[in-house]
Amino acid sequence: MTMNDDIKKYPVYALSQQGLIPIEIMSINDYNHQTHQLHHYIKQQSYKRDKKWFDDRNIEQKLILLPCYVHEQVHNTAIRNLTDSEFEEKFNISRWDLLFNRRYSKY
């Protein structure tokens, strides 16, 4: 599957000062790849492998359009990674609201 297939399949959100807001994009051509990246809330392989587990708990897959520097922090791939508390203080949202984790995400 391609990201364009996932855009048609899952709801898409963008990160704003107020949190996650729904947006409508039709394809990967609808945003600037130099400044933003489209991110799966639940890692694709985890979601496909354990779809029943997620369905049983009403945890839905979604795509989130993130600025590149936030996306790097979500996945701890930045030059200097923020702690969870630093991340929440800087971006006004928990890392675990942007990336599902069985231990830290609320469900």
Q: Where are the domains of the chain?
A: 3-97
State residue 1's pLDDT score.
Answer: 67
DSSP 87: H
State residue 64's pLDDT score.
Answer: 98
CB 81 within 8 A of CB 55: no
* pTM of the model as a whole: 0.92
For residue range 66-101, what is the model confidence (pLDDT) as tens digits? Answer: 999 999 999 999 999 999 999 999 999 999 999 999
Q: How far apart are CA 6 and CA 45, in angstroms?
A: 13
